[in-house]
Chain A
Amino acid sequence: MKKHQDQGGLKPEYASILDGFYRGLAPSGLSPDYRAETEVYRRRSRLASAGRLYESLMSASGVAAGPRVGYFCNLVPEELIRACGAVPVRLCELDHACARLGEEVLPGDACPMIKSICGSAAAGRYRDLDLLVIPAACDGKAKLSELLAPVRPVYLLDLPRSSEYLRNADAWTGRYQDFFDFLKERFRSRAGRSELTAECRRANLRTQLFRRLYHFRAGHPGLINHFDYFTLVSLSFRLEPEAWLDLAGEILAEAVGRAEGLKFDGRRILLAGSPIIFPAYKVLDILYEFNCEAVADSLCSGYGHLYDPVEIDEETETGIIRALALKYLAASLCPCFMGLNKLLDLLVDTTAEYRLDGVIYHDLRLCQVFDMQTVAIRQVLKEKRIPFLSIKTDLGREDTGQLKTRIEAFLEMLG
């Protein structure tokens, strides 16, 4: 068996220098407190079971015990991590305070998420993790694999950056297989296909429930509002599938029970673009204010994280790993993975299927790849007569007034 090294690390000497610098940045650590936000969104929810939802944001229950593997982006197969007996935690976050700290490490014009992650890391929030897995999705993430190396051991999941199945399926499978071998060695696991199959099944159960919830929201807008929805998805970043199923199941059941005769007089839109993760709900807040619901989305922190199932065709180990690669990479909508065709298809198809009023493109300033495709989307949707608004923003709240003008004008335009 190959000897696996931590990829993407730094030499111990350099790492400790950088580590010293980080420790100096936030000597007392940084622990953002979201209690106030949680309370606001809990009150906005129309469901009684949302109480538990927002509580879980603050508590650690529902998270399995075991070595914890932090990862970024939904390009890292959770199933592989779980199969090896470790607990995957998706660390993607959008926190203003952390991002500000991150600016002391990174240039100010780096992507807010990268800054936020880097700030969190510098503040020592990742020190209790056993491993960090960073996919080379965008340049920022790839570089993080070095900058975070002083904090925890890092595995750089280097992936060919095109979601073209025909060309890359073998390469992806190889990379995932390496990753799996690495995990097995690191966590002294002898996981094989039965563990993998079991984990895929768990993940698929979650996908099934998520799909029901997703379709339900389109048909009964506002009942499970977009805050509840995105909070649920954010929670799936770290909850065990069963705990998540329990939570989401309760919410869906309550909503289904109350769906009868419910009227919604606002606007239903599809939210596309950069991720939205609790507590960065600025755009959602504005939509809410104007009685507009994001009932569908294409975000990697929403639809992209939970909609696609693993479809095991060959129940061999390689076959399962390949199926995972297809789920996470071929179907990926990430702009880094050249998913523009798929994204456009999704926008056109979903707006037609659910008869949505339009598409709002959330463009997180400084994330180049999202920004770069705006014009293309705009032109295509215009041709297809789908109202489209792109809003460029960041984590701060200073531009709320401007965003309101844009969104309100967009809604006025819809008539």
Chain B
Amino acid sequence: MKPRRRITLSRRIIQLACLILLVYGGYLFKGRLAGQEANVGEPPGTGGSLFPDLKAPKGAMSTTQFAPGSILWPSGATPVLENYPPTLVCRFNPKGGLFKACIVHFFSENFTWQTHLKYLLPHLTLFVLLCFLLGRFWCGWVCPIGSLGDLLSWLRRRMNVPVRRFPAGFRNALVFSSYGLLGATLGISTFIGLPNYSRFQCYWFLPYCQICPARLVCPVFGLIKPGWKDFTNGVSATFTLLAWLVLGLFVAAFYWGRRVWCHLCPVGLVNSWFNRGAGLELHKKAVKCNKCGYCADACPMGLTAMYEADTDRKYNQNGCIMCLRCLEVCPKDGCLSCRFFGRRVLESRY
């Protein structure tokens, strides 16, 4: 359509690359990074890591206590790197996966393990550093689940189905719920980590992961046996049903509305806290704006602040996934710009 679809094009390429890397990267780097072949049956915690000290304490619930093939450890394989990038890579896909899991997994797991802060710090520092550099960039450019969702949106567009635009109130409600989700996850994780309640760990371990759409999707990509129908007991059956429900929501959200899901995702939520202070900034020169609304229309997260903005300043919002679509579609030269630590790197140009 236009001479400058370059941002989206690069984003698609990066998304695809990340999808491959995060889901299959393990096959590429296994051995080289970890110094060992993947051993089926070997518990996590023995893979390579930048920070090898993070291990499940003795007696605590850990993946080891699941039989290979069970719902919480379906691959039974070790990830190459036991690290947690700020975006969604999944424990349900460690066979060829490059990393262990996402940041929400990191929190849930370690809250249950009651891991000492000094072991968490290196991981946290890395996470916070990355987030401060790029904000919620991960959601828009890296997250494989988001990329799959974008694929769904693309499919919808091909089928000439108009996008549904949800009112801001609805999106706010989703964000609100994502706080609830994260809170519940961390609450349950902490609770089952208490000495007296460790008996709940078998079924309540990693509560969010058990309903995350990735639980059902990732195994498919990881070419491992999916834990699609775990109805062992009431709890796990509920989790499985919830997971299916959430997956339905996920598909619906991505199909009818673009990235509506991302408002609910707790991983995105954690990332979003870093947006306002991130090195990657979006600026607007308000006097150049002709209020055409293209930026608001194109925003997959449905944000309208860029359109509404009437003063020249930075407009990093929590919801922004740094896809830079607004900057790309803005037809007024120099109206929107993207800066990295104050340096102009991109600006809107027709």
Please list the residues of chain A having a beta carbon within 8 angstroms of any beta carbon in chain B. 163, 165-166, 169-170, 192-193, 197, 200-201, 204, 207-208, 211, 308-309, 311-319, 322-323, 326-327, 330-331, 333, 341-342, 345-346, 348-349
Per the bound structure, the CA–CA distance linking A314 and B155 in Å amounts to 11
Given contacts A313-B298, A326-B293, 10 further A-B contacts (CB under 8 A): A165-B291, A166-B304, A169-B293, A197-B1, A311-B2, A316-B160, A326-B297, A331-B291, A331-B292, A345-B288
Q: Which of B1, B291, B331 contacts A342 (CB 8 A)?
A: B291
User: Which of the four size classes fits the interface of chain B?
Assistant: 20 to 34
* Given A169-B297, A317-B160, A211 and B350 contact (CB-CB distance below 8 Å): yes
Q: Which of A170, A331, A341 neighbours the largest number of chain B CB atoms within 10 Å of its CB?
A: A331
Q: Which of A166, A341, A345 contacts B293 (CB 8 A)?
A: A166
Judging by beta carbons under 8 Å apart, are A201 and B162 in contact?
Answer: no
Q: Which of A192, A319, A341 contacts B157 (CB 8 A)?
A: A319
Q: Write the B312-334 contact mask toward A (1 if CB under 8 angstroms, else 0).
A: 00000000000001000101000
Per the bound structure, the CA–CA distance linking A327 and B286 in Å amounts to 18
Q: Which of B156, B157, B163, B293 contacts A165 (CB 8 A)?
A: B293
Q: Cβ of B286: which chain A residues have Cβ within 8 Å of it?
A: 345
**Chain A nearest Cβ from B261, distance in angstroms:** 18
**CB-CB nearest in chain B for A164:** B291
Q: Cβ of A200: which chain B residues have Cβ within 8 Å of it?
A: 1
Q: Cβ of A308: which chain B residues have Cβ within 8 Å of it?
A: 290, 292, 331
Judging by beta carbons under 8 Å apart, are B329 and A313 in contact?
Answer: yes
**Chain A nearest Cβ from B265, distance in angstroms:** 23
Per the bound structure, the CA–CA distance linking A311 and B348 in Å amounts to 13
Judging by beta carbons under 8 Å apart, are A327 and B292 in contact?
Answer: yes
Q: Which of A163, A318, A331, A349 contacts B162 (CB 8 A)?
A: A318
**CB-CB nearest in chain A for B325:** A313
Q: Cβ of B289: which chain A residues have Cβ within 8 Å of it?
A: 342, 345
**Chain B nearest Cβ from A25, distance in angstroms:** 41
**Chain B nearest Cβ from A156, distance in angstroms:** 24
Q: Which of B2, B296, B331 neighbours the largest number of chain A CB atoms within 10 Å of its CB?
A: B331
Q: Cβ of A211: which chain B residues have Cβ within 8 Å of it?
A: 350
Report 9 cross-chain contacts, Cβ distance below 8 Å, ordered by A residue: A165-B297, A165-B307, A166-B304, A207-B350, A309-B331, A311-B292, A313-B325, A315-B157, A316-B163
**Chain A nearest Cβ from B257, distance in angstroms:** 11
Judging by beta carbons under 8 Å apart, are A322 and B350 in contact?
Answer: no
Q: Which of A311, A322, A341 contacts B331 (CB 8 A)?
A: A311
Q: Which of A208, A322, A345, A348 contacts B297 (CB 8 A)?
A: A322
Per the bound structure, the CA–CA distance linking A346 and B335 in Å amounts to 12
Q: Cβ of A319: which chain B residues have Cβ within 8 Å of it?
A: 157, 162-163
Q: Cβ of B184: which chain A residues have Cβ within 8 Å of it?
A: none
* Interface residue? B294 (CB, 8 A): yes
Per the bound structure, the CA–CA distance linking A346 and B332 in Å amounts to 11
**Chain A nearest Cβ from B319, distance in angstroms:** 16
Q: Write the B297-312 contact mask toward A (1 if CB under 8 angstroms, else 0).
A: 1100000100110000
Judging by beta carbons under 8 Å apart, are B1 and A165 in contact?
Answer: no
Judging by beta carbons under 8 Å apart, are A313 and B293 in contact?
Answer: no
* Given A317-B160, A326-B297, A312 and B288 contact (CB-CB distance below 8 Å): no
Per the bound structure, the CA–CA distance linking A309 and B298 in Å amounts to 15
* Interface residue? B223 (CB, 8 A): no
Q: Which of B161, B163, B294, B304 neighbours the largest number of chain A CB atoms within 10 Å of its CB?
A: B294
Per the bound structure, the CA–CA distance linking A169 and B289 in Å amounts to 17
Q: Which of B1, B287, B290, B304 contacts A331 (CB 8 A)?
A: B290
Per the bound structure, the CA–CA distance linking A311 and B293 in Å amounts to 10
Q: Which of B2, B290, B298, B304 neighbours the largest number of chain A CB atoms within 10 Å of its CB?
A: B290
Per the bound structure, the CA–CA distance linking A238 and B292 in Å amounts to 25
Q: Write the B272-298 contact mask toward A (1 if CB under 8 angstroms, else 0).
A: 000000000000001111111110111
**Chain B nearest Cβ from A321, distance in angstroms:** 9
Q: Write the B23-63 contact mask toward A (1 if CB under 8 angstroms, else 0).
A: 00000000000000000000000000000000000000000
**CB-CB nearest in chain B for A349:** B287
Q: Cβ of A318: which chain B residues have Cβ within 8 Å of it?
A: 162
Q: Which of A163, A312, A326 contacts B1 (CB 8 A)?
A: A312
Judging by beta carbons under 8 Å apart, are A326 and B292 in contact?
Answer: yes
Q: Cβ of B165: which chain A residues have Cβ within 8 Å of it?
A: 170
* Given A197-B1, A314-B157, A316-B157, A326 and B288 contact (CB-CB distance below 8 Å): no
**CB-CB nearest in chain A for B298:** A313
Q: Which of A322, A341, A349 neighbours the largest number of chain B CB atoms within 10 Å of its CB?
A: A349
Q: Which of A163, A317, A322 contacts B291 (CB 8 A)?
A: A163
Per the bound structure, the CA–CA distance linking A313 and B294 in Å amounts to 8
Q: Write the B129-166 contact mask toward A (1 if CB under 8 angstroms, else 0).
A: 00000000000000000000000000011001111010
**Chain B nearest Cβ from A342, distance in angstroms:** 5
Per the bound structure, the CA–CA distance linking A311 and B290 in Å amounts to 13
Judging by beta carbons under 8 Å apart, are A314 and B163 in contact?
Answer: yes
Judging by beta carbons under 8 Å apart, are B288 and A349 in contact?
Answer: yes
* Given A193-B160, A309-B350, A316-B157, A330 and B304 contact (CB-CB distance below 8 Å): no
Q: Write the B66-107 contact mask toward A (1 if CB under 8 angstroms, else 0).
A: 000000000000000000000000000000000000000000
Contacting A at CB under 8 A, from B140-198, are 156-157, 160-163, 165
Q: Cβ of B290: which chain A residues have Cβ within 8 Å of it?
A: 308, 331, 333, 342, 345-346
**CB-CB nearest in chain A for B163:** A314
Per the bound structure, the CA–CA distance linking A165 and B308 in Å amounts to 10
Q: Which of B160, B289, B293 neighbours the largest number of chain A CB atoms within 10 Å of its CB?
A: B293
